[in-house]
Amino acid sequence: MIEIKYLKKTYSTISSEKFRVFDDISLVIHDGQWCSIIGPSGSGKTTFLNCVAGLLHPDEGEVLYEKISIYNMKEKERNNYRRLQIGFVFQDFKLLPHYSVLDNVILPLYYDEPKRELYSRARNLLTQVGISEDLFNRLPEGLSGGEKQRVAIARALMANPKVLICDEPTGSLDVANRNKVLEIFLQLKQKGLTILLVTHDEEVAKQGDVTYRLNDGQLEEVGGNKL
């Protein structure tokens, strides 16, 4: 499903020195697989996810989805591919503050389909992730952290993507809400969704099929139960 080939990324410091984020990373994530990535803060996990998702151009290397290289696409084509095929769940939710829960969820497809169909699908998705109907018209500021994350997951699923990429999706949640979100991910995996997830929480990482540690610019497979 996802093939990452020799990915490299560096940043320049204020003194114009080059800082290597990661170097020559290659990885294959199979269709329907849940791949977890752990690592210390500052190790480049979010940068790696952004490169894999098509949000940040790597210095070198390729990212292929079903043998299609997203960085060989023109920018508009890549944006559309990402919007329709890749769901991204952010740690800080990225919900628009002046839009209702329902409107936040339909945003990825706002101009693509009739609004009646979009709102119907959004209601179904919100119900599936455990958001009650009385919250549908509420603004994000009126939601708890766990509710915001579940709304963000519903939005990421709106286009029925083949891949779900998650950046610390439980990092700001208490244990009860973390477990609710984990249950959603496990259900999605059972339905065949491919999941790439970055986390500091080793209990979350263990739920996946395979776990890698990103450190000093390299990925090392550490398995699931070996953490």
Percent of the chain whose predicted confidence (pLDDT) is above 70: 97
pLDDT over 50 (residue 84):
yes
CATH number at residue 7: 3.40.50.300
**Residue 8 within any structural domain of the chain:** yes
**Residue 197 within any structural domain of the chain:** yes
pLDDT given for residue 111 in this prediction: 86
pLDDT over 60 (residue 227):
no
Instruction: List, for residues 60-75, the tens digit of each pLDDT value.
Output: 999 999 999 999 999 9
φ, ψ (nearest 5 deg) of residue 126: -60, -40
pLDDT given for residue 128 in this prediction: 92
The number of folded domains in the chain is 1
How sure is the predictor about 129, in pLDDT bands with cuts at 50, 70 and 90? very high
**Residue 125 within any structural domain of the chain:** yes
pLDDT given for residue 225 in this prediction: 46
pLDDT over 60 (residue 27):
yes
pLDDT given for residue 66 in this prediction: 92
**Residue 227 within any structural domain of the chain:** no
User: What's at 212, amino acid-wise?
Assistant: Y
pLDDT over 50 (residue 226):
no
How sure is the predictor about 224, in pLDDT bands with cuts at 50, 70 and 90? low
Q: Beta partners for 27?
A: 4
How sure is the predictor about 12, in pLDDT bands with cuts at 50, 70 and 90? confident
Q: What's the mean pLDDT when you consider all of the chain?
A: 91
The predicted model scores a pTM of 0.91
pLDDT over 90 (residue 205):
yes
Instruction: List, for residues 89-121, the tens digit of each pLDDT value.
Output: 998 999 999 999 999 999 999 988 899 999 999
Percent of the chain whose predicted confidence (pLDDT) is above 90: 76
**Residue 225 within any structural domain of the chain:** no
pLDDT given for residue 196 in this prediction: 97
Query: 41 vs 168, which has greater pLDDT?
Result: 168
The domain in which residue 45 lies consists of 2-220
**Residue 226 within any structural domain of the chain:** no
